[in-house]
Amino acid sequence: MGSFSLWHWLIVLLIVVLIFGTKKLRNIGGDVGGAVNEFKKAMKDGQAADGEEKTGTTIEGEVTHKTKQ
């Protein structure tokens, strides 16, 4: 009752292929794959940038007076 059988998924796949066509589905798959690769690249670049920030200098200071706004 809760999940579909293999035959249900095959019928859904067939309907999707008939509606969109294999060429359009291939293009969509390529676009999604490219987006995932760009996301992974950005995550690696972000981690490298985070590592650089951790090796930076610490600025120490003291508050001498506060102004009320």
How confident is residue 33, by pLDDT bands cut at 50, 70 and 90?
very high
55 alpha carbon, distance to own chain's centre: 27
- pLDDT at 54 (0 to 100): 55
Per-residue pLDDT tens for 38-65? 999 988 887 776 655 555 677 788 878 8
Distance (Å, rounded) from C-alpha 54 to C-alpha 48? 10
Owner of token pair 């981690």: 47
- pLDDT at 2 (0 to 100): 61
- pLDDT at 14 (0 to 100): 92
Is residue 25 a contact partner of residue 16, using CB atoms and an 8 Å limit?
yes
Q: How far apart are the first and last CA of the chain?
A: 64
What phi-psi label fits residue 21: left (phi over 0), alpha (psi between -120 and 50 degrees) or beta?
left
